[in-house]
Structure 1
Amino acid sequence: MTAELAGLAIALVATGLFAGLIAGLFGIGGGVVMVPAFYFVLGVLGYDDAVRMHMAVGTSLAVIVATSLRSVAAHAKHGAVDFAILRRWTPWIVAGALVGGFVADLIPGRGLTGLFGVVALLLSLQFFFGRPDWRLAETMPGGALRAGLGSLIGLLSSLLGIGGGVFGVTLMTLCGKSIRQAVATAAGFGVAIGVPGALGFIVWGWDEPGRTPTALGYVDGLGFLILAASAFFVAPLGAKLAHTLPERLLRRLFALGLVLTAVSLLREAWAG
């Protein structure tokens, strides 16, 4: 048991450092990095395919709560957070995240792995070909469309273990918000997704066999502590690098990384 915990801890430190670096470098949050990285770490350590994607997603959601709170506080000091959007969208995002935690328990590990692979592949296309000046509207939608889109963001983000920044930033920039305000405000989506999402993964995975020794449901306690601490430590370095390297090159390098991740996950889902 001690050797197992030591191996898991070392692997998680490496995962957290990498996730923090990439998250700071590309400004999209660490979930899209942490989930596949932790998934492959659990595979190397011999954990069963039936639980490792669920554990990767659940643990990532818990980490996102901590990183999102820090990010929102930092952005709020610069007046970049649109709290009106957060107030109007949070209830629907929370509702979607709660449903996502329930749905994830019903999806086999292979299905969840394949879903993440497909979304990673679609995101890579956005990073390759997306343009920051694209617009669909001048204001954020309201009424039934807000309820539907907010619930969908919460549902998908909870299923995938990501903070909502990927979907939230894309939506807000397409609806007239500046990229700075979109990034700052979408960080608040991470709290609305992470809290109910992580709680759902804890509850639905409580009695599942084959989990790590420090797991609460599908959330690994040791993983949460190490990933959160490591990501906090390295993220500023990634942010600094982001200001020294060409943005177009960064986006395409990250897109290439997403393609490789997507292919690996889809192959795992297909072969499993």
Structure 2
Amino acid sequence: MKVLYYIYQICIALPILLVLTILTALITIVGCTLGSPHFWGYYPGKIWSRLVCFFLLIRVKVIGQENIKGKISYVFVANHQGAFDIFLVYGYLGRNFKWMMKKGIRKILFVGKACEEAGHIFVDRSGPRKVLETIRKTRAILTGGTSVVVFPEGARSFTGHMGYFKKGAFQLADDLQMPVVPLTIDGSFDILSRTDKWIHRHNMTLTIHQPIPPKGKGTDNIKKTLEESYVIIGNSLPHQYRGMVENPDQD
């Protein structure tokens, strides 16, 4: 069965998904230029992500959808198991949001331009002034229920375990006094790890936890929210992926 799936993904699924990726990027660019980035910066990507899972025969389960309500803006923080985290969150979170991503993604053909037009947030860590500029831009974007999704590890796992969390997302939530929603991603590592060259068929689960409201403002609030989020996310992972494993790629 594995061999048949490899043949299917090479001969059928991946060529279709390559065309869909280019079309989605072009639709996003044109739609955001002529229309509303709030709509065109989210829905084409959502449909694209669901189609990726459909054509690759990946089943998805979402737990805790009821935990996010109304037109509230959240800072979503998730563990970063692998490349398929993007499709899981984009396709199935069910909330209009912007990604907070590395500025290097801007260089990817079609995709980088689409992300820029969609209003996704490119993080520049070259200095304190750039970080403050990112926070100002984010504040302007996060209105009317639009949220932001961040991978606090900053890099994909090599083992399926979590590395340490950086404080940037929690500092942003503290600065804007927004609730943080932990997300547990499970199954993405088993589909395509950082060291794999083949996509493996495996189910994915997205667990949306209860929001963590601000408990104050400042260093203590940032630290407590970070630690609480880490524990919540980790406790929902399968036992073989629980516990921190140092990731040499985190910078």
Greater RCO (CA < 8 Å, at least 6 residues apart): 1
- Write 1 or 2 for the structure with the bigger share of helix: 1
Give me the TM-score of the superposition, normalised by structure 1.
0.29
- Write 1 or 2 for the structure with the bigger share of strand: 2
Give me the TM-score of the superposition, normalised by structure 2.
0.31
